[in-house]
Amino acid sequence: MADQTVLVLFGGRSSEHGVSCVTAGGVLGAIDRDRWNVVAVGITAEGRWVHVSDDPADWQLTDGHMPTVADKGSTVVPPARAGDNLWRTLSEDGVVEDLAHVDVVFPLLHGPWGEDGTVQGALELVDVRYVGSGVLASAAGMDKQFMKAAFRDAGLPVTPDVTLLRGDSVADRMAQVEALGLPVFVKPARAGSSMGISKVTDLATLPAALADAVKHDPKVLIEQAVLGREIETAVLETLDGPVASGASEIITGGDHDFYDFEAKYLDADAIVLRMADDLDEDTAARVRDIALRAFRAVGAEGLARVDVFLGEDGTITVNEINTMPGFTPTSQYPRMWAAAGKSFPELVETLLQTALHRPLGLR
């Protein structure tokens, strides 16, 4: 009989709700049920926390459709104070019932209201151990403006950009935008899964790209395009410290100019995801070193995926860090560790054990 309980938390209010559900399906299928009791809690798109099925089959991408968390009419309630690990349910007529004593939470939320430090802060308030980065690292990893500031401070090379805050006029910054050259990428500052990203090759289309980005976030980055191979590295914190995997590569084809949402999740035939085994030893070592430096620069914990561009001249430019990468069937994070000899269940177990051994409070 399992003697420890993990609560898998997913869904959420962001536009990445469905991706989070598919990620949860992957993790739910990888948890060793002989070691762990599993409780699945989904957050609806409206923000209600509900007790849901822990069957991985219920959280799969099917015929191009993402699963969603349905409102069950009752609410899951986290512990009310530090030192209490009992989670409860509250029915609509006010009946409170015990749900489970939880040892660790695996928050698989993507995007705002989950991946950005908000849920991490809620768990910290009541001393609940959880997988992944803390409040500050999660917030910095979610906000591309502050992520890049942390990278610059650590001496890491990043892409030049112009950041537009809520209410800023792009017309007032046009000289800076033009100085970036074309093409540029327009990105919501605090969104993931390539939501709201556009490639702009003609400044006449910039207003439309900005309008699409602000649907996801009022803060927008306009970034200089970087020519080069898109290389990803997985970082995993073990009990002996963080380690980096071998690099993988994204090759985009078909009708996709770049690795957009449809290419990531809905058009697998247009994408080649492969290990970058052709990198020479020096380049591979530099990619791993930069990934670990990026991990430390934002104070990440547990896991992260670091994305870089590798230029033809060997220069490496950091694109971003993702502090809660996907675990969907097309996600590179588990694939990279599988290529390194660490199976999906072993990967999930490492993440859970690291979270269990992390001290509570300030660290």
In whole angstroms, give the CA distance from residue 241 to residue 184: 37
Tell me the two tokens of residue 93. Answer: 């007529």
Residue 23 has pLDDT above 60, yes or no: yes
Closest CA to 39 of 125, 139, 128, 135: 128
Residues near 84 by beta carbon (within 8 Å), at least 6 away in sequence = 126
Say what the pLDDT of residue 362 is.
Answer: 78
Please say whether the beta carbons of 318 and 152 come within 8 A.
no
B/e letters for 243-270, b = 16+ CB within 10 Å, e = fewer, are bbbbbbbbebeeebeebbbebbbebeeb
Say what the pLDDT of residue 136 is.
Answer: 97
Give residue 256's pLDDT band: very low, low, confident or very high (50, 70, 90): very low
Closest CA to 275 of 311, 250, 303: 250
List, in sequence order, every beta strand (DSSP E) within 15-134.
36-43, 49-52, 74-77, 86-91, 96-101, 104-107
Amino acid at 137: A
Say what the pLDDT of residue 269 is.
Answer: 61
In whole angstroms, give the CA distance from residue 132 to residue 290: 20
Tell me the two tokens of residue 65. Answer: 């459709």
In this predicted model, what pLDDT tens digit does every residue of 132-179 receive, in sequence order?
A: 999 999 999 999 999 999 999 999 999 999 999 999 999 999 999 999
Give residue 193's pLDDT band: very low, low, confident or very high (50, 70, 90): low
Please say whether the beta carbons of 284 and 292 come within 8 A.
no
Poorest-pLDDT segment among 307-311, 313-317, 331-335: 331-335
Say what the pLDDT of residue 191 is.
Answer: 81
Residues near 62 by beta carbon (within 8 Å), at least 6 away in sequence = none
In this predicted model, what pLDDT tens digit does every residue of 197-209 receive, in sequence order?
A: 999 999 999 999 9
In whole angstroms, give the CA distance from residue 247 to residue 230: 10
Q: Tell me the domains of the chain and their CATH numbers.
A: 4-130 (3.40.50.20), 140-157+227-357 (3.30.470.20), 161-224 (3.30.1490.20)
Residue 270 has pLDDT above 70, yes or no: no
Residue 266 has pLDDT above 70, yes or no: no
Q: How distant, in Å, are the alpha carbons of 163, 188, 199, 208, 260 from that of 204?
A: 19, 19, 12, 9, 21
Residue 260 has pLDDT above 80, yes or no: no
List, in sequence order, every beta strand (DSSP E) within 201-284.
220-224, 229-238, 241-244, 248-252, 271-275
